[in-house]
Amino acid sequence: MKIPHPIPYQGSKRIIANEIMRFFPKKIDRFIEPFAGSAAMSVASAFFYKANQFLINDINEPLICLWDKIVNMPEEIVRDYHEIWTGQLGNEEEYYYQIRQKFNETQEPKYLLFLLAKCVKAAVRYNSEGNFNQSPDKRRKGRMPENMRYDIISVSNLLKGKTLFYSMDYEKILNMATPNDLVYMDPPYQGTAKNGGFRYLENLNREDFMISLYKLNQKNIPFILSYDGRTGEKTYGEELPDKLNLRKVEIDAGRSSTATLHNRNHRTYEALYISENIAQTINFDEKQKSLIRQPTLFETI
C-alpha cells in the first residue's frame, strides 16, 4: 500500500508524516491544517484513520480550488491533467511557459497542477506581482497521467464527504478550532515571502503568530507546529518563547538536497513543537526517545 500524493510541493511533510503522527492525541474529531500546501498531513491522517473530519486551508486560493476539485470532482481534474500533459509532447519547454502564462492570467487550478508536476524541484515560487514564475524542469515531462490519476482518485476516496476547504487568513481558521480538534501548522519558515523568491504568497508576522499560539493554549486547543530547524550546523529561525510551554523534538528529515548537490553529508532536522495539553496525554518522553529515523511508506512512492 502507498499513501497517495497528487500535489508535489517542496517542503511537504509527506516523508516525515509517520514521525509527526506519533505525537497525535488518541482521539481527534477534526484535523485542521491552516497552512496546508500539499496537505500531506491531512492525507496521511485520513489514510491512517486519525480523524473523522478535515479542514484544509491555504492563503493560495488557486491551490485550494485545486484541492477542492481533486477531492470533489476527481474525474474532471484527471481529464484536464491528461489533456494538458499530452499537449506538451514534442514542444515541452515552450508549452510549459504557455501554460504558466495561462495560469497567471486565469488562476485556473488545472493549469496549476501541471505546473506543480513539471516545475523545477516542485518549488512553488511567485514574483512580487503574485505571478507564478518558476521554470520548468527540462529533464522530465512531469508526473505521468496514469500515476496522477491513481493518486487523485485515491485521495478523493479518502477525503470526499469529510473535508471543508477554505482560503482565508490563518487566524480566522484558528478561531474555528475547538478542544476536540487537532491543529497542525506548517507555516512559512521565518524570512520567507514572495519578495524573497520563495513559494509563499505573504509574510508571516512572528509577533502575531505567537499571539495566535498563546490563544490556542488559553482555549485548551491541541496543536502541533512544524517551525524551522537546522541543516548541519546551520540553524534556521528563532526559538519559540518558553512562555508558550511547548515541547520540542527534532525529526530527521534526511539528507539535505543542497548538501547532496555539493557532495556533502549534511542532514536536515525539522523542529516539531507539541502543545502541553497533548504532551501530558501521550507519554511524550517515551515517544521522543523512540524517535529513530526509519523509511516510511511515503518514501516508497
DSSP assignment string, 204-252: --HHHHHHHHHHHHHTT--EEEEEEEEETTEEESPPPPGGG--EEEEEE
Residues contacting residue 49 through CB under 8 Å, at least 6 positions apart: none
pLDDT tens digits for range 179-221: 999 999 998 755 444 433 334 455 678 899 999 999 999 999 9
Please state which CATH class domain 71-148 belongs to: mainly alpha
- Please check whether residue 227 is in contact with residue 249, taking contact to mean a CB–CB distance below 8 angstroms: no
pTM to 2 decimals? 0.87
Dihedral angle, C-alpha 150, 254, 56, 208, nearest 10 °: -160
Average pLDDT in the 90-99 region? 95
pLDDT tens digits for range 154-168: 999 999 999 999 999
pLDDT of 146 reads 97
Would the pLDDT of 293 be above 80?
Answer: no
pLDDT of 199 reads 41
Backbone angles phi, psi at 269, to 5 degrees: -120, 120
Q: Fold for domain 17-60+163-300?
A: Rossmann fold (3.40.50)
Q: Tell me the domain boundaries of the chain.
A: 17-60+163-300, 71-148
pLDDT of 289 reads 63
